[in-house]
Amino acid sequence: MTTRTTAAPGRVTFMQVSIALQTLAIFFQAATAGLLLSTSYGETLHSVGARVMYGASMLYVLAAVLAWRPGGGSPRPILYASGFLVLASVQVVLGIAHKPSLHVPLGVLMFGLSVLALGQVLTGRAPGPDGTRS
């Protein structure tokens, strides 16, 4: 027998917090990218932000696994989170390689995907444990 585990109305979930942190970290990266071009400390802030963003992506994977495991439902959120971690890994490699022609558009894509995921989780439109949308 499978039981569906959901958060009580009005309660913030670990998944919501992890996606919000990831989205904020990517937004911070956009801001520090501008500082990178105009200040001496921009590179330091962008480098620290990259580490935070990558950690937030790993936290998103952990949150997806923990949200999936108790109810035994669809692993789809884990696939989304893992895909985002792959994008974050590519982003880090492109940044280290100084390839802004690929690094910047991928950052914009990642921000858009993260905002989309955050909106789905906050509005309750994300797939539930049984794979259906609520």
pTM, full prediction: 0.82
* pLDDT in the model for residue 8: 58
Q: Would you say residue 114 has pLDDT above 90?
A: yes
pLDDT tens digit sequence for 24-43: 999 999 999 999 889 999 99
Q: Could you tell me the CA-to-CA distances from 54 to 30, 60, 112 in Å, in that order?
A: 14, 10, 16
pLDDT tens profile 58-74: 999 999 998 887 666 67
At position 59, the amino acid (one-letter code) is L
Q: Give me the count of residues in the chain.
A: 134
Q: Which two tokens stand for residue 57?
A: 């992506």
